[in-house]
């Protein structure tokens, strides 16, 4: 894959749906499979992915434990006062950073903010794979499609699905290729409730119409939120020197990450999954 990395964009306009958590676990998963991974954090305000990776670097230096690290590409936001000028400059900055990472990475993971932003739109047009984690809630589902409460049929596509449709056309024109759009149900509770059952019923119908495919996401587990300060992921827990007791829930979390990696159908990943 010299000179051209596979770009994975993690996007959803809805905030707090688990994008950064997925981005970090995906990046570390790919690193642990022996790939070279670049990362770009487009959430300029929160910089959660950037902070997660910085915490990892700081912990490596402090503990002496060697952990695989992604290459970090930083897109500096434009200082141009003119909106159209700023958008154009941001795009150029993104393209430059991506071109650099392309030289040194097999995969580039791009984490988008939980809002509609011009640069996030632009990043979508570079996506070979787009992952959209959604909270398991009918309210969050509305961004993908609006449902009839009685028949449960899709009445119309939602704002984010419309955006992806538009950007897919743009990508086809610009790069002559499509986007493999994968939607994952995030933070699934262990309990079965009406909402969960209905999500399970309607999402498979929506995927055919809206052009995404479903993959299992991560369950609601404390471990996914606990390791941020050390920059660790569930895939790091078994490494010597981490010193954390591994519970059944941690093992299940690890299986969830491996399952996501398998279901993304990323190039050369399936043949290496045995390494994890």
Ligand X SMILES: Nc1ncnc2c1ncn2[C@@H]1O[C@H](COP(=O)(O)OP(=O)(O)OP(=O)(O)O)[C@@H](O)[C@H]1O
125 binds, among Mg ion, ligand X, none (CB under 5 to 8 A by kind): none
Query: d(Cα 174, Cα 172) in Å, to the nearest integer?
Result: 6
Q: Which residue from 12, 17, 20, 102 is in contact with Mg ion, where contact means CB under 5 A? A: 20
Is 19 one of the binding residues for Mg ion (CB under 5 A)?
yes
Shorter beta-carbon distance to Mg ion: residue 13 or 106: 13
Q: Does 220 bind ligand X (CB under 6 A)?
A: yes
Site for Mg ion in 46-75 (CB under 5 A): 48
- Binding ligand X by CB under 6 A: which of 126, 187, 232, 260? 187
Which among 232, 207, 218, 178 has a CA at the least distance from the CA of 32?
232
The rounded distance, in Å, linking the Cα atoms of 136 and 14 is: 12
| Helix/strand/coil for 65 | coil
Q: Does 16 bind ligand X (CB under 6 A)?
A: yes
Shorter beta-carbon distance to Mg ion: residue 1 or 115:
115
- Residues 108-127 binding ligand X (CB under 6 A) are 113-114
Residue closer to Mg ion by CB (options 49, 163) is 49
Of 15, 34, 85, 204, the one binding ligand X (CB under 6 A) is 15
Binding residues vs Mg ion (CB under 5 A): 19-20, 48
Residues that bind ligand X (CB under 6 A): 15-21, 43, 46, 48, 113-114, 186-187, 218, 220-221, 224-225
């Amino acid at each position: 894959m010299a000179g051209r990395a596979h770009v994975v964009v993690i996007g959803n306009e809805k905030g707090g749906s688990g994008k950064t958590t997925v981005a970090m676990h995906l990046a570390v998963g790919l690193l642990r499979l022996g790939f070279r991974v670049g990362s770009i954090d487009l959430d300029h305000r929160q910089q959660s992915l950037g902070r997660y990776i910085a915490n990892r670097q700081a912990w490596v230096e402090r503990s002496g434990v060697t952990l695989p690290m992604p290459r970090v590409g930083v897109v500096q936001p434009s200082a141009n006062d003119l909106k159209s000028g700023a958008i154009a400059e941001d795009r150029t900055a993104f393209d430059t950073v991506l071109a650099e990472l392309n030289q040194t990475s097999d995969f580039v993971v791009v984490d988008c903010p939980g809002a509609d932003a011009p640069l996030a739109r632009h990043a979508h047009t570079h996506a070979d794979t787009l992952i959209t984690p959604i909270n398991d809630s009918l309210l969050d589902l509305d961004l993908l499609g609006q449902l009839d409460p009685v028949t449960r049929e899709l009445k119309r596509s939602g704002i984010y699905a419309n955006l992806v449709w538009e950007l897919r056309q743009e990508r086809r024109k610009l790069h002559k290729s499509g986007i493999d759009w994968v939607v994952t149900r995030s933070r699934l509770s262990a309990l079965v409730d009406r909402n969960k059952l209905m999500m399970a019923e309607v999402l498979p119908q929506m995927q055919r119409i809206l052009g995404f495919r479903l993959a299992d996401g991560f369950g609601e587990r404390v471990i996914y939120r606990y390791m941020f300060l050390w920059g660790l992921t569930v895939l790091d827990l078994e490494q010597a020197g981490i010193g954390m007791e591994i519970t059944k829930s941690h093992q299940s979390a690890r299986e969830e990450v491996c399952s996501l990696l398998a279901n993304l159908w990323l190039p050369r990943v399936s043949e290496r999954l045995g390494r994890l």
